[in-house]
């Protein structure tokens, strides 16, 4: 019976997390105290996890941003490579007369030749021939 009285006296003083160091002092009757300690320790953890922003959405936003950056960089890489090839051709043309002559003597591709012909034709139709303007001006002066 003395053990029961001792247990009742101990029960009046609530157990704390410091009492967890001695596992032999705990019984099934102390489950309420254990639950209270666990709940008290879990509150700061729960509060800190609520304050963390939604990590999944943040990761998805970063992923989208990186994909856009990669796409724009790949386009820029293609443009830089094209510019590099153009510069190499220009340097070869400056250094070698034969290369320069071959570049200037190249014919246009069929599509570009047709387009250039159409542009010339539309310019001739839209404005009177230059020779007519010259003869009228020369006649007026005389």
| 11-61 pLDDT, tens digit each | 566 677 677 677 777 777 777 878 888 888 787 777 777 766 677 788 889
Closest to 27 in 3D by CA, of 52, 54, 3: 3
Q: What is the pLDDT of residue 124?
A: 76
Mean pLDDT taken over the chain: 76
pLDDT band at 68 (very low <50, low <70, confident <90, very high): very high
What does the alpha-carbon distance between residue 34 and residue 36 come to, in Å, rounded to a whole number?
A: 5
What does the alpha-carbon distance between residue 141 and residue 40 come to, in Å, rounded to a whole number?
A: 108
Q: What is the pLDDT of residues 80-125, one digit of tens each?
A: 999 999 899 888 888 888 877 777 776 777 888 888 888 888 777 7
Q: What percent of the chain has pLDDT over 70?
A: 72
Q: What is the pLDDT of residue 77?
A: 93
Q: What is the pTM of this model?
A: 0.36
What does the alpha-carbon distance between residue 2 and residue 55 come to, in Å, rounded to a whole number?
A: 57
R_g over Cα of the chain: 45
């Amino acid at each position: 019976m003395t053990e029961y009285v001792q247990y009742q006296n101990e029960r009046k003083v609530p157990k704390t997390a410091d009492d967890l160091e001695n596992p032999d002092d705990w019984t099934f009757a102390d489950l309420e105290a254990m639950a209270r300690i666990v709940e008290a320790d879990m509150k700061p953890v729960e509060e800190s996890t609520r304050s963390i922003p939604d990590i999944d959405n943040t990761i998805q936003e970063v992923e989208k941003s990186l994909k856009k950056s990669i796409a724009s960089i790949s386009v820029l890489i293609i443009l830089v490579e094209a510019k590099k090839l153009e510069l190499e051709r220009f340097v070869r043309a400056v250094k070698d007369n034969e290369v320069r002559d071959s570049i200037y003597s190249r014919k246009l591709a069929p599509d570009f030749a047709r387009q250039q012909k159409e542009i010339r034709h539309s310019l001739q139709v839209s404005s009177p021939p230059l020779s007519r303007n010259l003869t009228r001006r020369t006649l007026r002066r005389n």
